[in-house]
Chain A
């Protein structure tokens, strides 16, 4: 693995008696990384610490070689980091071009560079003629794109994006995700994307970190996390299914009723043995008419990580999953 972009060691942040961050170690690799966690899990506190806005109670963090936890580096780190805040934020009375160029100059660009750069990034986020209008009258989508533009103004090595698709309509959301995906995957920017929308993270990020109650409860590549936590088989049968369920449970598999009358079988590992399922069906005297594998979604990974069981193991709490399905009938012996 290449040098981590962000490295955290035993980071603790207390607000009075509340431990917002509970002393964890974390290495965030280069590329687009999703930061997930329920409300109050410490995501915002972590971002503030990485920007040097907060001083940790204990521990160390390194961002691209700078230590935002140290006094001498807390301003320097902001020259290599671009931050897109979650809430609405504009500079009063300014147009988009003034806003971006002013912030670029504050970061250290010369006046003429700042103006050129402001036009470039506003072109990139597709704020065309609107860039000359006062930002007070901007729609939510335009404000979000403007926030992304200002974060890009000084061409930072790391982008901290806090809920970039917040409040956007489907079209605006797609535009924003296209931009984030382009920045992360095509332009090779390091991105830490903080979002509640797991589909957004799944689409734009290669790596994910899940925070809960001030600690890291899960991290890794999205592809590995969604693959390694077992699989779900969706089965439709002809015949007496009760006996088939008994056979499955006797074989140590968890089952539940599917949404369309089928059966959901929770397989303990990522590579389900379809032959074994057919074997059990044969023993129960039923015929399998359809067999599909549903892989874990990021939502499943997230829910499992924060202590909520995503797949029901009883008949009563069966819930639909949002993962991808693969038809496994081809494995029928």
Chain B
């Protein structure tokens, strides 16, 4: 039974529209909100990330505590040697971050894939493009919004933990030495994780735009990664040619990380230029496919 106050009359809108609304932000926020609705996948996917982050933070914290002499009396016999050995084992902040990013690359890919796989595929299946493109949004707004939604989870999986490690290093380093002496590392961390998250997001959205269901997109993403990694390894062995490793996304990022964090292995046969070209090629291909597919979605709407 309806309440007596219920009135089904049309009320004209008396407010005004914003002149320059950031429409892609609205799309991105709503995409991210939808992701948070399901708790179990979030728990399963983010648990390894959280564990990895805690371990990296602990190693950094422990290292600085050792160096400051709070844990061990550095003047006691043999303490200096032990401290030096342990701190070398623990590694410096940047190597901890580098190790974390390499270790979490797969998990962050899975997280972006899980949350991003359905963003375009499900829009097509359920006709959401009809609703989006009857609004004043451009194809770029739509893509940016969807990309922001997927990349947000990549940010939570990779960039945020790296920044947490940097924060721990900042607060535990003696005399703020980390931020004073290694501030550039923080920028490198942000840049490196952003490139990885951006690349994975573009790849996930591209595959999502090619299929009609989230499950198909997930299969496609895993298939593409496994296939490219497998093919590159097999071809590299068969032809004894290292340049086939350029097909492997994870190896490309390992090389990029080594280069950015000054850990480049001089024995590598593949140069950083070739790696950058491979990643640039992947971006170009993905953006081209996305542009074509989203244009089709707009016209079909």
Question: Is B11 interfacial (CB-CB < 8 Å)?
Answer: yes
- The contact of B13 among A83, A87, A128, A155, by CB within 8 Å, is A155
- The contact of A92 among B8, B9, B118, by CB within 8 Å, is B118
Contact of A91 with B131 in the complex, beta carbons under 8 Å: yes
Scan A119-134; emit 1 where CB is below 8 A from any B CB, else 0. 0100110101000000
Given contacts A102-B30, A106-B27, A155-B13, contact A89 B21 (CB under 8 A): no
Contact of A92 with B34 in the complex, beta carbons under 8 Å: yes
Scan B1-26; emit 1 where CB is below 8 A from any A CB, else 0. 01000111111110101110101001
Q: How far is the CB of B29 from chain A (nearest CB, A)?
A: 9
Q: Which residues of B contact A82 (CB under 8 A)?
A: 134
Q: How far is the CB of A14 from chain B (nearest CB, A)?
A: 14
Q: Which residues of A contact B34 (CB under 8 A)?
A: 92-94
Stretch at the interface among B55-63, B135-143, B185-193, B253-261: B135-143
| B214 (CB) vs chain A CBs: closest residue | A92
Chain B interface residue bracket vs A: 35 or more
| B34 (CB) vs chain A CBs: closest residue | A93
Stretch at the interface among B120-128, B151-159, B227-235: B120-128
Contact of A102 with B26 in the complex, beta carbons under 8 Å: yes
Contact of B134 with A124 in the complex, beta carbons under 8 Å: no
Q: How far is the CB of B5 from chain A (nearest CB, A)?
A: 11
Question: Is B283 interfacial (CB-CB < 8 Å)?
Answer: no
Question: Is B92 interfacial (CB-CB < 8 Å)?
Answer: no
Roughly how many angstroms separate A186 CA and B9 CA in the complex, as a whole number? 10
Contact of A91 with B126 in the complex, beta carbons under 8 Å: yes
Within 8 A of B (CB), among A68-117: 75-76, 78-79, 81-83, 85, 87-94, 98-99, 102-103, 105-110, 113, 117
Roughly how many angstroms separate A155 CA and B17 CA in the complex, as a whole number? 11
Contact of A123 with B126 in the complex, beta carbons under 8 Å: no
Q: How far is the CB of A193 from chain B (nearest CB, A)?
A: 16
Q: How far is the CB of A229 from chain B (nearest CB, A)?
A: 35
Given contacts A92-B118, A123-B6, contact A154 B13 (CB under 8 A): yes
Roughly how many angstroms separate A126 CA and B33 CA in the complex, as a whole number? 26
Question: Is A48 interfacial (CB-CB < 8 Å)?
Answer: yes
Contact of A79 with B17 in the complex, beta carbons under 8 Å: yes
Q: How far is the CB of A101 from chain B (nearest CB, A)?
A: 9
| A51 (CB) vs chain B CBs: closest residue | B134
Roughly how many angstroms separate A155 CA and B131 CA in the complex, as a whole number? 16
Roughly how many angstroms separate A83 CA and B135 CA in the complex, as a whole number? 9
Roughly how many angstroms separate A183 CA and B33 CA in the complex, as a whole number? 33
Given contacts A48-B299, A92-B34, contact A103 B127 (CB under 8 A): no
Within 8 A of B (CB), among A7-63: 48, 51, 53-54
Question: Is A187 interfacial (CB-CB < 8 Å)?
Answer: yes
Q: Which secondary structure characterizes the binding site on chain B?
A: loop
Q: Which residues of A contact B17 (CB under 8 A)?
A: 79, 107-109, 154
Contact of B135 with A123 in the complex, beta carbons under 8 Å: no
Contact of B30 with A107 in the complex, beta carbons under 8 Å: no
Roughly how many angstroms separate A117 CA and B128 CA in the complex, as a whole number? 20
Question: Is A246 interfacial (CB-CB < 8 Å)?
Answer: no
Roughly how many angstroms separate A128 CA and B7 CA in the complex, as a whole number? 11
- The contact of A75 among B6, B123, B129, B136, by CB within 8 Å, is B136
Given contacts A91-B126, A154-B13, contact A107 B131 (CB under 8 A): no
Question: Is A182 interfacial (CB-CB < 8 Å)?
Answer: yes
With an 8 Å Cβ cutoff, the count of chain A residues facing the other chain is: 46
| A107 (CB) vs chain B CBs: closest residue | B135
Within 8 A of B (CB), among A141-185: 150-152, 154-155, 182-183
Scan A212-227; emit 1 where CB is below 8 A from any B CB, else 0. 0000000000000000
Q: Which residues of B contact A110 (CB under 8 A)?
A: 15, 18
Contact of A89 with B136 in the complex, beta carbons under 8 Å: no
Contact of B128 with A106 in the complex, beta carbons under 8 Å: no
Roughly how many angstroms separate A53 CA and B118 CA in the complex, as a whole number? 24
Contact of B134 with A85 in the complex, beta carbons under 8 Å: yes
Contact of A124 with B9 in the complex, beta carbons under 8 Å: yes
Q: How far is the CB of A48 from chain B (nearest CB, A)?
A: 7
Q: How far is the CB of A158 from chain B (nearest CB, A)?
A: 12
Question: Is B244 interfacial (CB-CB < 8 Å)?
Answer: no
Q: Which residues of B contact A155 (CB under 8 A)?
A: 12-13
Within 8 A of A (CB), among B83-118: 118
Contact of B136 with A78 in the complex, beta carbons under 8 Å: yes
Contact of B131 with A150 in the complex, beta carbons under 8 Å: yes
Q: Which residues of A contact B8 (CB under 8 A)?
A: 123-124, 126
Question: Is B301 interfacial (CB-CB < 8 Å)?
Answer: yes
Scan B49-69; emit 1 where CB is below 8 A from any A CB, else 0. 000000000000000000000
Contact of A88 with B126 in the complex, beta carbons under 8 Å: yes
| A81 (CB) vs chain B CBs: closest residue | B134
| A136 (CB) vs chain B CBs: closest residue | B126
Q: How far is the CB of B138 from chain A (nearest CB, A)?
A: 6
Q: Which residues of A contact B27 (CB under 8 A)?
A: 106
Roughly how many angstroms separate A194 CA and B136 CA in the complex, as a whole number? 22
Show 24 residue pairs from A and B whose CB-CB distance is below 8 angstroms, ordered by the A residue.
A48-B301, A76-B136, A79-B136, A85-B130, A87-B127, A89-B126, A89-B127, A89-B129, A90-B127, A90-B128, A90-B131, A92-B34, A92-B118, A93-B37, A94-B30, A98-B33, A106-B23, A106-B26, A113-B15, A117-B15, A124-B11, A126-B8, A152-B10, A187-B10
On A, residues with C-beta under 8 Å from B are 48, 51, 53-54, 75-76, 78-79, 81-83, 85, 87-94, 98-99, 102-103, 105-110, 113, 117, 120, 123-124, 126, 128, 150-152, 154-155, 182-183, 186-187
Question: Beyond A113-B13, A186-B10: 13 further Cβ-contacts under 8 Å?
Answer: A75-B137, A76-B136, A79-B17, A90-B128, A90-B131, A91-B126, A103-B135, A105-B26, A106-B135, A107-B17, A113-B15, A128-B6, A154-B17
